[in-house]
Amino acid sequence: MTLEVTSLYAGLLSLLLFFLSIRVIRRRRAAGIPIGDAGDLSLIRRQRAQGNFIEYVPIVLLLMALAEAQGTQVLALHFVGAVLLVGRIAHATALSSIKGNMVFRVGGMALTFTSLITTAILNLGLAAGFVV
């Protein structure tokens, strides 16, 4: 059993996490804040973009892997993975900037929730024998 689709999106999303982490580190260095946030709004927003990513991505990747291991169609997995990736990019972009962009932020979360709910329902269907 190989998990090629999940592996692809895990790799792409890991690169995005790396980028978000570097943004936090750079802001810490620029502001001279080794720990905490010292009330620095830019650092707080970058930390939340990174934290929010970490809060959602692992469970969706796990659910994708479980669905893929049970033979879910590749196209369905690519749909979920692409929706998650675009959602996380949109959300991180909006949350990371000082001004923010509510359209990207809300849209990014909507896409993230779509991937979460889709994979949850898919796995429930697989477990119950309803999805082949």
What angle is formed at CA 63 by the lines to CA 94 and CA 127, rounded to 5 degrees?
A: 145
3-state secondary structure of 77: helix
Total-model pTM: 0.93
Structure confidence at residue 132 as a pLDDT band (50, 70, 90): low
pLDDT given at position 98: 73
Beta-carbon-side half-sphere exposure of residue 11 (alpha carbons within 13 Å): 6
Confidence tier at 112 by pLDDT (50, 70, 90): very high
Task: Give the orientation angle of helix 74-96 with respect to helix 41-69, to 10 degrees.
Answer: 170
Distance of CA 63 to the CA centre of its chain: 13
Instruction: Output the six-digit token pair for 42.
Output: 């830019």
The answer to whether 22 and 53 have CB atoms below 8 angstroms apart is no
Is 70 exceeded by the pLDDT of residue 130?
yes
